A and B are shown apart, each in its own frame.
Chain A
Amino acid sequence: MPNAIVKYVRMVDAVNRRVGRFAMYLVFVMMGVLVYSAISRTFFDLPLIWVVEIAQMTMAAYYLLGGGYSMQLGAHVRMDLLYGRWSPKRRAFTDSITSLVLLFYVLTLLYGGVSSTQYALEYGQKNYSVWAPPMAPIKIVMTLGILLMVLQVIATFFKDLAAARGKPLS
């Protein structure tokens, strides 16, 4: 593999690892916000109008920013009826094709994300609710998560290709 590709794979892995390990802690934000809201309403009779949306936004950030890292962790299930019986080399070869197929899907996600974010920025879109927060910030975060996923899928493709040629990266 050319040097530039090796460097790219290393960089994407490192960035997604960092971002993913940050996203990992967002589960505490969800817990904190929700328990705070329950306490505030039950004991102080103060319902909070922003809780649902903050929790929703945290959730969206959690799984989209965590996407790339979850690919690295190999967390996504596959059906291994045939796959499980193949030799490592055959698996790597098939993987390099399935990664390209996957790339198509995440690219359409990215396209939709960018256009939806542009719309939110242009028209100052607000969520349809009492609190009515602007939607652009969370859309930017979501699209960023998808972009990182795209980069990770490309890196995965290079890794699979290298393994299929018998010279695994890393």
Chain B
Amino acid sequence: MSYEIIALMMFSLMMLMLLSGQRVFGAIGFVAAVFSLMLWGEGGVEMPFSAAFKLFNWYPLLTLPLFIYMGYMLSESKIADDLYRAFHVWFGPLQGGLAVGTIGLMVIISAMNGLSVAGMAIGASIALPEMLRRGYDKIMITGVIQAGSSLGILVPPSVVLVLYGMIARQPVGQLWLAGVVPGLMLAGLFMLYIVVRCRIQPELGPPLPLEERQMPMREKLRLLSAGILPLVIFLSMTGLFVMGVTSLVESSAVGAVAATLAALIKGRLNREVMENTLRKSLGVSCMFMWIILAALSFGAVFDGLGAVKAIESLFIERWGLGPWGVLIMMQLSYLLMGTFLDDTAMLVIVAPLYVPLVISLGFDPIWYGVLYTITCQIAYMTPPFGYNLFLMKAMAPKEVTLVDIYRSIVPFVGVMLFGLVLVMAFPQIALWLPGVIYGN
């Protein structure tokens, strides 16, 4: 049997397993275990466990549980409430202002955390009910929170870029800096979309009534002090890392400690907050780690099949694509697979196949990392399979239905695709900042 057929069978079987409602790590792990057993017999039995040691040696992945812990600490202790109030008052008068302010809030949370879980939890529990109460269109704001929180993996720190950095063997510091401008650009585009949309259809986002925003200037300025805390956390974490004081993993631990201290100082750290933070962190960390564990053994089988060579010959020799054709093909296939399959697993399985090809075609691997992350963000949001969709359904108020959630992402995915094209056409958007800081 040809290797292409085997690869195709692996993907189809995985797809079938996923449709049966199998837990994602179970579906991927089962396919990996069965095929390594069939292909390599007795030597293949140990492949699933070898993945545990590959994972063991992926030291930077320690940032994952630490960022998850930190994200839950920030959302469970509700220290982001003050921050939300500040945006609320300052942006409220604008048409659609609360939605614009929510994007701003999401950027700040993204700068404190490397995943989209924190932004999602804070957005769905604080911003969403407030905006619903003020008559904002529920479909638009559901999209706002999903798109906004997806910035968590692009604005540094970012766990997706850590994973990419490990697979592509690229420095995480440069990758993180490369994500800054594209992240802010996407946030700007989201805001622009909201403002324009609300200009055309004012009923979607009514401005805050006068009595709610009339407060003395001094009070308004005092609210801005809510911004100090995120700044301190950002500097103690990403700042110390980029300056070279702490290592990557240490910086995430510093961030986790800083978030805990912040909750303690604000008097929000009680038994319940601690219990919820620890339990949810364990659950989400286990979910991600078991998926990555299974995906690594799936990837190992693929590697054994010589998939990198097969894809290269398919794209270049058989389809006769030029470098840009290959690049666009890779993004499209990734988007398509990301829609139906698990996104974290896709990163672990597909990135090792694509990255060597990208480098051999002469593209910048740092820049490609940013493209990859934006593609990932889109994949996280597109049904039927996306973490943001799951999280949103679990966290949003009852009146937001699954259909609302599916419909809400459409315009934002459009904006993100536009952003993706911009970064593809103008690589300097990503490469300028790391160039300035690291001087290359």
Contact = CB atoms under 8 A, between A and B. Distances in A.
Contacts of B69: 27, 31
A58 to B, nearest CB: 9
Contact of B283 (A73, A98, A104): A73
Interface string B244-262: 0111011011101100000
Contacts of A63: 65, 285-286, 289-290
Contacts of B24: 76-79
A169 interface: no
B22 A98 contact: yes
Contact of A104 (B33, B59, B281, B387): B33
Interface string B30-57: 1011100100000001111110110111
Given A24-B282, A35-B250, A83-B20, A98 B48 contact: no
B26 A105 contact: yes
Nearest to A101: B30
B126 interface: no
B369 to A, nearest CB: 24
A105 B48 CA distance: 8
Contacts of B278: 24-25, 27
Contacts of B52: 60, 64, 109, 112-113, 142
A56 B291 CA distance: 18
Interface in B254-295: 254, 256-257, 278-279, 281-287, 289-290, 294
Contacts of A20: 282
A4 interface: no
Nearest to B65: A27
B257 A31 contact: yes
Contact of A76 (B25, B33, B61, B246): B25
B17 interface: yes
Contacts of B18: 78-79
B25 to A, nearest CB: 6
Interface string B2-18: 00000000000000011
Interface string A90-132: 0100110110011011101101110110000000000000000
Given A81-B384, A112-B46, A31 B66 contact: yes
A59 B62 contact: yes
B22 A112 contact: no
B336 interface: no
A55 B252 CA distance: 13
Given A56-B62, A111-B45, A67 B30 contact: no
B31 to A, nearest CB: 9
Contact of A38 (B22, B50, B59, B246): B246
Interface residues of B, number: 60
A30 interface: yes
Query: Secondary structure of the B side of the interface?
Result: helix
Given A77-B390, A83-B20, A108-B33, A35 B253 contact: yes
B112 to A, nearest CB: 16
B385 interface: yes
Given A34-B253, A78-B21, A62 B65 contact: yes
Contacts of B33: 104-105, 108-109
B169 interface: no
Given A79-B384, A105-B294, A56 B56 contact: yes
B29 interface: yes
B161 to A, nearest CB: 19
Contacts of A155: none
Contact of A94 (B21, B247, B279): B21
A80 B247 CA distance: 39
Most buried by B among A25, A63, A102: A63
A103 to B, nearest CB: 9
Nearest to B289: A63
Contacts of B332: none
28 contacts: A27-B69, A31-B257, A34-B250, A35-B257, A38-B245, A56-B56, A62-B65, A63-B285, A64-B52, A66-B285, A67-B286, A70-B290, A75-B287, A76-B23, A82-B20, A83-B20, A94-B21, A98-B17, A101-B26, A105-B26, A105-B29, A105-B30, A108-B33, A108-B37, A108-B49, A111-B46, A112-B45, A112-B46
7 residue pairs, one from A and one from B, having the closest CB atoms: A112-B49, A83-B21, A75-B283, A70-B286, A34-B253, A63-B289, A102-B26
Interface of A: 20, 23-25, 27, 30-31, 34-35, 37-38, 42, 52, 55-56, 59-60, 62-64, 66-67, 69-70, 73, 75-83, 86, 91, 94-95, 97-98, 101-102, 104-106, 108-109, 111-113, 115-116, 142, 146
Given A27-B278, A30-B65, A101-B22, 20 more contacts: A27-B282, A31-B253, A38-B246, A59-B62, A62-B282, A76-B26, A76-B287, A77-B23, A79-B384, A80-B21, A81-B385, A101-B26, A104-B34, A109-B49, A111-B49, A112-B46, A112-B48, A113-B52, A115-B46, A142-B52
